[in-house]
């Protein structure tokens, strides 16, 4: 966690995770994916140490929804599909 994360803290989760929240969470995970830098993995979008706040938020939302790793991987693959 970098200094901005320490200052701002975690993003709050929605009280009830809806289908729309799941879509936002998958988008956050894809857009804020890791990218290798000389000092280690960083967020492709904002260059914060990976996992950044939005990536962590997306994972927490999907965890709260009860999705498995396999289901999350399928949603990410669907998001990345060319016809999107």
Q: How far is CA 73 from CA 22, 24, 30, in A?
A: 13, 15, 10
CB 46 within 8 A of CB 34: no
pTM over 0.95: no
For residue range 1-20, list pLDDT tens digits in order. 566 777 788 999 999 999 99
For residue range 52-79, list pLDDT tens digits in order. 999 999 999 999 999 999 999 999 999 9
Helices (H) and strands (E) counted in the chain, each on its own, are: 4, 2
For the chain, what is the largest distance between any 2 Cα atoms, rounded to a whole number of angstroms? 39
26, pLDDT greater than 90: yes
């Amino acid at each position: 966690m970098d200094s901005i994360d320490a200052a701002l803290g975690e993003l709050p989760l929605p009280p009830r995770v809806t289908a729309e929240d799941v879509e936002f969470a998958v988008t956050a995970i894809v857009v804020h994916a890791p990218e290798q830098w000389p000092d280690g993995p960083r967020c492709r979008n904002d260059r914060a140490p990976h996992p950044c706040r939005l990536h962590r938020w997306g994972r927490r939302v999907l965890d709260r929804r009860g999705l498995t790793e396999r289901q999350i991987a399928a949603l990410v693959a669907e998001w990345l599909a060319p016809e999107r």
